[in-house]
A and B are shown apart, each in its own frame.
Chain A
Amino acid sequence: MTLLLRQGLVVGPTSTRVADVLVSEGRIVDVADTIDPPRGAREIDVRGCWVGPGFVDLHTHLREPGREAAETIESGARAGAVGGYCALVAMPNTEPALDNVALVSYVLDKGAQTPLDIAVAGAISQGREGRHLAPLAEMAALGVRLFTDDGTGVQDPSLMRRALEYARPLGVRLAQHCEDESLAAGGSMNEGVVSSRLGLVGRPALAEELMVLRDIELVRLTGGAVHFLHLSTARSIAMVAAARREGLDVTCEVAPHHLTLDETACAGFDAAFKVHPPLRTALDVAALRQALRDGLLDAVATDHAPHSPELKDRAFDEAPAGMLGLEHAAALTHEALRGDGADADPVRFFDVMSRGPARVAQLRARDARVRHSAHGGDVVAGEDANLTVFDPRERWSVSRDQMHSRARNTPYDGRSLVGRVTTTIAKGQLVVHEGKLV
């Protein structure tokens, strides 16, 4: 397949320029002011659109194996492609958990049948129970580069210390869901003004911040590497930024919903707004947006968490936590990047949607033992052709009935968004054209 993207704004690591991009046989073969279309090339007019490295999601719950009614690897990949993603990191809190070579292989093999690259985050502990280390070295040998018990954090500081010590020589990174369960237990939304009024038990910001603080100190002690998943409070971000200034190997992501919704969204008791960590205060949202614009975040990661309708129809305190993310993450990130009246910075946009997450997941070409094609590189000749085209002008509104995910639990139903993925080229193939699956 030969594709010619015409006259888009090519977003480089530091600057942008209008150019044609020629893709052939899985690679970018030329980037120039104008390129004469080779015979048989399919031309796509992308004037006014941003052309950059394909999105990488560090945090996707694909639900397979175990909860295929909510999502499968195949349906999740379709939703991801529509959202502009060329690579997804599948979270291990499946049933059973991805804590061994057989299960990781199962997901990798199924993932290989989709048009995207599906990487796997393995569990840190056996069964994600937080007691015994899972076989990290065996899974690392399969190419697993991230490990997490996501869904819950590793509660026991001693186990987390062992995991960091064990992981360090393997060259892998531990990703932490930061919530201290003894502080957050029983809670279903942010603890504060709104929870007190609604009579809902709260999950305090402290539950997250205490574990962030603990893990920063464990990184200092062990020399290990931690990726902080879905940080949601101003203090969490400040602590991670400070740790990074000290030279500690810590990275972090935020989720689109923590950039665009606050705790007041829970006032209608609709469990579509229930998520862990919970939607925080408007001040936290503002701080997260500022951190995004200031380049303090490595990634925006979706925490795409499909749930079947009968579960989300339960009462707020009884419903499972989590919301869809893949199909609207780019538009929400675009919204969060726009300041008061200012345009979003396309370089920053691709930093958090592609380059940063590819670096954390070790999916870049220079990373050793890449099992998949390379992601998050520059739009230059020779790179693997994983490309996303984003139209920052297109207005659209979210409809829960038009999701490609099997589930419908989006909190954005009816919300009007600006900016949409028009084209996804994954592993050299045109997967999404004019916003639709090919």
Chain B
Amino acid sequence: MIASIRGRNLLSLDELSDTAILEVLDTAELFVEVNQRTIKKVPALKGRVVASLFFEESTRTRLSFETAAKRLSADVLSLAVASSSVKKGESLRDTIATIDALGIDAVVMRHSSSGAAHQVGGYVPHVRVINAGDGLHQHPTQGLLDVFTVRQVLAERAHAKGSETGKELFAGLHVLIVGDIRHSRVARSDIAAYSALGAEVRLAAPGTLRPASLQDWPVSVADDFDDALQWADVVGVLRLQRERGTGSFVPSLAEFTQTFGLTTERARRLRPSTIVMHPGPMNRGVEIDSAVADSPAAVIERQVSNGVPIRMATLYLSVTGSAEEASS
């Protein structure tokens, strides 16, 4: 287990200890304050160069990362993949070598293939690699911002600062993750983060949208979705990944909504204190009803806002720290 991401790549939350996760959360808390200032900028990464390589389209995550890098005063190199040499058949290794030759400190990358960020980490060991989503594998910063958001909300209710609570608010916390687990990198990162911090994670999904094997996963599977909703302190609704052919895994979207959608009717079963989350972009009316997404229980916009300080913390720790520091 990695005890700190200082000076290290962030590829998967599977390999991070609770200490490493808390360090990111506590650092992000400092950056929340920066984002509330009139001048939203600190010189932490001044003179550093962060390359943003999105081999798979994403507006939200890309904007969030680039905003985070800029608020740390880093220079951002942004590769527009759609118009790049990648389309002309250039290999991942060559693309990275080319960007690396321009002189970079970190690369933030998203790719449709699981493990692509690991591979890049091997090609450019002197560059810090931040995984912004790889295939069905991991989306570490989403997992981090999700636990950050939960801690923030719970700490506010307890009139405390999140960083003062460490991981205690997660002890025995009931987290229900629902929907397309099989194709979800968000689910894999969320499960790792919540369970590392001591929460109890339960999954609800149609049989076809569960992973082929849940052996070794620190989760249980809900027998009944409606009962699980009453059990949950946090409900993480996943996006139904229609672009990954999920359509053939369920008979119809209507049936999915009927059985595993967080509909307005079903949301009435939630306790008033339950937090509803969604990583976006939402298929309103499919996995979540508009009325639920816009209800006070939902913290979806707060997740988006927290994306920036979490990514600032990730970049800051990964780029400025040295590995020696981390291991000492």
Contact = CB atoms under 8 A, between A and B. Distances in A.
Interface string B166-188: 00000000000000000001001
B165 interface: no
A316 B212 contact: no
A202 B212 contact: yes
B214 A196 contact: yes
Contacts of A314: 91-92
A417 to B, nearest CB: 24
A396 interface: no
Contacts of A204: 212
A197 B113 contact: no
B271 interface: no
Interface in A160-208: 191-193, 195-202, 204
A310 B216 contact: no
A313 B114 contact: no
A72 B254 CA distance: 55
A221 interface: no
A12 B215 CA distance: 47
B93 A313 contact: yes
Interface string A229-262: 0000000000000000000000000000000000
Interface string B90-119: 011100000000000000000101111011
A180 B136 CA distance: 23
A240 B288 CA distance: 50
B113 A316 contact: yes
Contacts of B26: none
Contacts of A191: 212-213
Contacts of A198: 114-115, 137
Among the interface residues A199, A200, A269, A316, which one has the most CB atoms of the partner chain B within 10 A? A199
Given A199-B134, A269-B114, A310 B91 contact: yes
Contact of B114 (A199, A270, A310): A199
B110 to A, nearest CB: 12
A317 B185 CA distance: 15
Nearest to A317: B113
A341 interface: no
A193 B216 CA distance: 7
B188 to A, nearest CB: 6
A140 to B, nearest CB: 41
B14 interface: yes
Given A197-B14, A268-B118, A314-B91, A192 B212 contact: yes
Interface string B66-88: 00000000000000000000000
B135 interface: yes
A197 to B, nearest CB: 7
A318 interface: yes
Contact of A269 (B118, B136, B212): B118
Interface string B134-152: 1111100000000000000
Contact of B113 (A202, A310, A318): A318
Contacts of B137: 198-200
B211 interface: yes
Contacts of B211: 196
B113 A315 contact: yes
Interface in A260-302: 268-270
Contacts of B138: 199
Nearest to B185: A199
Contacts of A199: 114, 134-138, 185, 188
Closest 5 CB pairs of A and B: A269-B115, A315-B113, A199-B137, A199-B136, A196-B211
Given A192-B213, A200-B137, 5 more contacts: A192-B212, A204-B212, A269-B118, A315-B114, A315-B115
24 contacts: A191-B212, A191-B213, A193-B216, A195-B213, A196-B211, A196-B213, A197-B188, A197-B217, A198-B137, A199-B134, A199-B135, A199-B136, A199-B138, A200-B114, A200-B115, A200-B136, A310-B91, A313-B91, A313-B93, A314-B92, A315-B119, A316-B119, A317-B114, A318-B113
